[in-house]
Amino acid sequence: MHRCILFALSGLFTCAAVAQDAPIDAPAIFQQRCAQCHGDKLQGGNAQSMIDGVWQFGAGGGLKNNIKHGITHLGMPAFEAVLSDAEIGAVADYILEAEHTAGAVKPPPPTHLQTLDYEVNVETWVEGLNSPWAIDFLDNDTALITEKPGGLRVVRQGKLEEAPVSGTPAVLYEGQGGLLDVAADPEYAENGWIYLAYSHVLDEPGENPPAMTRIVRGKIENNTWTGEEVLFEAEHEHYLKTRHHYGSRIVFDHKNNLYFSIGERGLQDHAQDLSRPNGKVHRIRRDGSIPRDNPFKSKSGALKTIYTYGNRNPQGLAIHPETGQLWATEHGPMGGDELNLLQSGLNYGWPLTCYGRNYDGRPISEFTSKPGIEDATHYWRPSVGVCGLDFYRGEAFKKWQGHLLAGALRYESVELLTVAGERVLHSETILKNAGRVRDVSSGPDGAVYVVLNGPDVVLRLYPEAERAY
């Protein structure tokens, strides 16, 4: 994932014929197309520096996509009409090599933020984690954090316990798979149940065995996982050999129904197939039984657990604290991340409607809207890499009550979304460039907790003062 580059438009866009094996002069292309905005030494100018270790719009392979397809709403043009793929790749490599040569180091997370409503203090609450994925609180003093390779960690009074919980399920730690979400039972104080979502692999001979998202619950006694119960395990014929788009978020509604997401696992047409679990949000009871009013419980051939379908890869689920409505963020392809208000039995479009296009630039669908398909409440184009979602419920940031906190991997951001009914009225970025935001949570103390990858830490945001106008 990469930062946006506001390339200079110097002169007319013309393409000269180049011999097939002619070397590509990436520095010359950069000087011609990019230096006017980014500086002749990549130091920045009208647009940001390329050698400061800060990537506002993602780092990695996304740099080529930014150059090729542009970020038009920010003024960055697309260069696919004037530069070949080979030239774009050479320019991206030149920029990354220049950054490496400059010894760029990503700045540490900030210690202070200024938002529209608050001056905010930021502290590194927990460090020493290994690819943390999710956080949930058991009580005012205790939190659980999952680590993608398989660790379940306990934090007591702000201190990470040295040893992970033993006996947790074996996970397929490969690609986007691993130990993913964790959620405490709404009545945890009485029953002690804890819920996990993870990538479960079948014990089959040969390479690349099939896997699927699995939901279990258990209890922690003496730092050991005990009493495990499997709540959802797909039919083994529906397990897949792909290693991405597991979904895996877990939330509970006001009636204590459990919702969990499964991405379409890279097989987009499966999202429209009600006989398959992937590309759906599911609803079960806390013991794994099926609610009587599930929308497809009586439909022949459909999975009884399905609540919504046509979902690409939802990695954010949240229940509105007052209305009980279920909201979800899901990854789009190249462009078209979505925020949706999910309602029973409805189709959310993937891949029949889409706000983005394939990673190679080809269209997925010519439609962004169709009869019988729910339009997104809000969407991001280009993709920000939405991941982690929660409604703020505390007293510390009173002006934020009922607002959505939406994390982003690619843009390394947390957005505060003002929601009214079924609409998003305003969006404010309250955290930027601290790391890839895997999860965001409204804590029991009123602080906002942000789970980061790169660095693998959890930040705690709390107000210093309310801003006066």
Superfamily of domain 26-101: Cytochrome c-like domain (1.10.760.10)
Domain residue ranges in the chain: 26-101, 129-377
Average pLDDT over residues 424-445: 97
CATH for the 129-377 domain, from 2.120.10.30, 1.20.1070.10, 3.30.300.340, 2.60.120.260:
2.120.10.30
Q: What average pLDDT does this structure show over 64-82? A: 74
Main-chain phi, psi angles of 298, to 5 degrees: -105, 5
Q: What is the pLDDT of residue 334?
A: 87
Q: In what order do the strands lie in the sheet with 306-309?
A: 250-252, 258-262, 280-284, 306-309
Task: Look at residue 35 in the predicted model and tell me its pLDDT.
Answer: 77
Separation between Cα atoms, residue 301 and residue 217, nearest integer Å: 27
| Count of C-beta atoms within a 10 Å radius of residue 374 | 19
Mean pLDDT of 17-31: 73
Long-range CB contacts (within 8 A, 24+) of 320-326 = 320/391, 320/402, 320/419, 321/391, 321/393, 321/402, 322/402, 324/253, 324/254, 326/251, 326/253, 326/259, 326/281
396 pLDDT band, cuts 50/70/90, is very high
pLDDT of residue 39: 77
For residues 235 and 310, what is the distance between their CA atoms, to the nearest angstrom?
A: 20
Strand partners, 159: 156
β-pairing verdict for 132-137 and 118-126: unpaired
Positions annotated as catalytic residues are: 245
- For residues 451 and 62, give the distance between their C-alpha atoms in angstroms, rounded to a whole number: 22
3-state secondary structure of 310: coil
Indicate whether 7 pLDDT > 50. no
Dihedral sign from CA coordinates of 412, 196, 417, 462: negative
Same fold, 26-101 and 129-377: no
Which pLDDT score is estimated for 202? 97
**Does the pLDDT at position 397 exceed 70?**
yes
pLDDT band at 72 (very low <50, low <70, confident <90, very high): low
Would you give the DSSP letter of residue 176? Answer: T
Q: Is the confidence at residue 71, as pLDDT, over 50?
A: yes
- Paired with 465 in beta bridges are 119
Q: Report the percentage of the chain scoring pLDDT > 70.
A: 90
Mean pLDDT of the chain: 90
